[in-house]
Amino acid sequence: MTRRENALLDRLRLVAAVLVICNHTSPLSSYTILGDFYLTRVLARVAVPFFLMVSGHFLAKGNWSGTVSFLKKTVLTYLAAIVLYLPINIYNGFFTFPQLLRRVFIQGTLYHLWYFPALILGVLISRQLAKLGHAYALLIASCLYLIGLGGDSYYGLVSQLSFIKELYDIIFLIFPHTRCGLFLSPFFILLGANVRPSRAPRTAVLAFLSFVALSAEGIWLHFTGWQRHDSMYLLLPLCMGSLFPIILSLNRGQDRRARQISALMYIIHPLFIALLPPAARLTGTSYVLSGNSIVSFLAVLFLTITVSVVLYAIRPIQIGKKYRAWREIDAGALARNVSAIRGAIPPGCEIMAVLKADAYGHGDVEIARLLRRFGVRRFAVACIQEGIRLRRALIGGEILILGYTPPDMAAVLKRYHLTQAVIDGHYGLALDRAGCRVSVHVAIDTGMHRLGIPSGDIEVLSSIYALKNLKVTGTFSHLCVSDSLDVEAQEYTKKQLSNFQESLSALSAKGIDPGRTHIQASYGLWNLPQQPWSIVRTGMALFGIKSSPSAVANSIPLSPVLSLKSRITHLTHLQAGQSAGYGLAFRTERDCNIAVVSIGYGDGIPRDYGLRGGYVLIHGAACRVVGLVCMDQMLVDVTDMPEIAPGDIVTVAGRDGELEITFTDIADTCGTIANELLSHLGRRLDLVCVPKKR
Ligand SMILES: *Cc1c(COP(=O)(O)O)cnc(C)c1O
């Protein structure tokens, strides 16, 4: 915040919060009843309209686009307040169920909390009314306000007409006071949304006169005895409508701290109002603390401010993402890839999404949640921890563990409904002996010679299906050269496929049901004709990334889900002959500008990426990575880039303008496959999900 910012709007919320505390503590009541009435029931009544108008002002300024997140925040705050006052509610005795509904949705669970349901309902209504245009919206809201007014300060007058009294009897059944719900809040929210800043002298005169008139109205009403409640006055809209433009015209900038502390003050002050009398009794100070209205007001005020400031100071800090280095997952691309893969497999064949190694660095829980939304019901992971992680994030469906799990963990498998791969015959027996019935898929080794019961070992294989503690729901194998289109490789894959086929035939000849069958992974999809099995296990294809640039037989329209981005933290200048980075690995022959980018091998970038000719995208242009990549930084030559500044986004993988760098490209540059790179990502990289466009 620069010095010239006064954040008047936010700081006046603190004043409004103090007025609310006045309203609930009656500071002048020991001295003058009328004065206290004037302060707390007339003047202090500007506070809530002010809060509402500020909300309306900001929501309308953002064209109501922030409505949903504003409502979310408000609902969460209200829930927290409900929980905070639960003990007091319990002490006072529970509500009956219809009462409880009215309390939560209209009246608030404690006297001051009416504000939250009114704000939530008010924003919802205002948002709808605003679509009708300013004039109609305000007209309708004014009518609601007038109805509210009749049930508030002017009730004694209007209820002399019996049909009006009957109408209000009905309203009061739902709204105990007409300030609740829809009568007061939409009006002030819309007023705040519609007034423009003004510093015209006549606005100031109008504001002054309307406050004088409001004072007269309030005191006069006090003596008429008409007031059923004293939250709403005829002249309050005029006061606020003339005062707010002046405040707006003087306001410069924002003050988050004032905003949050004022909200805390509003929420917690009744706690001290409730605690003060017993505290005074316990400490024998009743005669000062509760005896004198000003002293008790000041005590409540002091405690409220102190605790609010402390709570603000210890609030959980959320560190913004996208400031150092982050992964961005594109939900739309993932959805399209799922559809494309479904289009490439036979009807009835299902996708099993392979989410090992943090879903290849994409964020396993986030990806699993998205996939569930896109209708994927089967998942595979490498180890039991990964399976448990998904279950703890409430991911349903089948989760197959592809690797070894110690047989003595059978109970854990069962508890988390995880399906275990039977990685060989001995393992199957050991798992059975663990004495806990678990779901398994039986692995057949058709030629990779890593996991599985050798495909020729029909005796061992078929014995697994008879084990009483193993519930076999699937049988699978894995191809080891399906990524290659070499003649020899293709022959090998064919052999693997026929081995699989023969094992399954042998099982069926023995009357054994193999459950769901699967052998294809991503390259099985890319390079083989459609297969007759019931599941495909896919990782790379789902994420739209090929392991290497080599050609594949079937083109499936897939796009990368993951981008990797970072920022320029600062720029340095090198003179010809100077070097930069570890090991003097980069020495420049010309004067050059170097951008320091906050991502390094600690984030998964290969250390020799620059030496092998790696580059990144900045402002849609390719820029060379120079020298050795450090653990947390790398250096990029930006000499030929005209307008570059600290904070600019650097795309390490992904698209920027016309250019795109894929993980396949990076892997190829570094002499490895994209799978290896992806599995080194993560840990301290933030994860950002770009939602799917509707
Ligand atoms: C990793 C893995 C897969 C997925 O491979 P992709 O090439 O990513 O589709 C499938 N099956 C097994 C046994 C695996 O280990």
Q: Are 545 and 662 in contact (CB under 8 A)?
A: yes
Q: Which of 536, 506, 497, 541 is nearest to 518 (CA)?
A: 536
Measured in degrees and rounded to the nearest 5, phi and psi for residue 217 equal -60, -45
Residue type, 634: M
Q: At CA 53, angle to CA 52 and CA 57, rounded to 5?
A: 120
pLDDT in tens, 321-348: 899 999 999 999 999 999 999 999 999 9
Atom of ligand 1 nearest to the CA of 542: 9
pLDDT in tens, 347-365: 999 999 999 999 999 999 9
Atom of ligand 1 nearest to the CA of 354: 4
Which of the 8 DSSP states describes residue 195? -
Residues forming beta bridges with residue 332, ordered by sequence position: none
CATH number of 325-538: 3.20.20.10
Task: Count the Cβ atoms, other than its own, within 10 Å of residue 482.
Answer: 24
Residues forming beta bridges with residue 686, ordered by sequence position: 326
Cα 381 to averaged position of ligand 1 atoms, centre (Å): 9
Q: Which of 179, 195, 288, 300 is nearest to 241 (CA)?
A: 195
Residue type, 509: A
- 445: helix, strand or coil: strand
pLDDT in tens, 94-135: 778 888 899 999 999 999 999 999 999 999 999 999 999 999
* Top mutation candidate among 400, 484, 531, 537 for ligand 1, by most atoms within 8 Å of CB: 537
pLDDT in tens, 30-80: 999 999 999 999 999 999 999 999 999 999 999 999 999 999 999 999 999
Cα 451 to averaged position of ligand 1 atoms, centre (Å): 13
- CATH 2.40.37.10 intervals, the chain: 562-661
* Cα 453 to Cα 120: distance, rounded to the nearest angstrom: 62
> Is 72 noted as a catalytic residue in this protein?
no
Q: Which residues line ligand 1 (CB under 6 A)?
A: 354, 356, 402, 478, 521-523, 537-541
Task: Inform me whether the pLDDT recorded for 538 exceeds 90.
Answer: yes
User: Length of the chain in residues, anyone?
Assistant: 694
- CATH 3.20.20.10 intervals, the chain: 325-538
* Cα 427 to Cα 409: distance, rounded to the nearest angstrom: 12
- 676: helix, strand or coil: helix
Chosen CATH of 562-661 out of 2.40.37.10, 1.10.1060.10, 1.25.40.10, 1.10.10.10: 2.40.37.10
Average pLDDT, the chain: 95
Q: Which of 308, 255, 270 is nearest to 12 (CA)?
A: 255
* Top mutation candidate among 337, 341, 345, 354 for ligand 1, by most atoms within 8 Å of CB: 354
Residue type, 404: Y
Q: Are 633 and 598 in contact (CB under 8 A)?
A: yes
Atom of ligand 1 nearest to the CA of 483: 7
Residue 347: Cβ-neighbour burial (10 angstroms; 0-12, 13-18, 19+): exposed
> Is 266 noted as a catalytic residue in this protein?
no
Residue of the nearest CA to atom 8 in ligand 1? Answer: 539
pTM value is: 0.75
Task: Inform me whether the pLDDT recorded for 288 exceeds 90.
Answer: no
Q: Which of 145, 155, 356, 609 is catalytic?
A: 356
Name the pLDDT band for 446 (thresholds 50, 70, 90).
very high
Atom of ligand 1 nearest to the CA of 543: 8
* Cα 562 to Cα 543: distance, rounded to the nearest angstrom: 7
* Top mutation candidate among 351, 379, 402, 547 for ligand 1, by most atoms within 8 Å of CB: 402
pLDDT in tens, 398-409: 999 999 999 999
Give buried/exposed letters for 116-129 (b at 16+ CB in 10 A, else e).
bbbbbbbbbbbbeb
Residue type, 312: Y
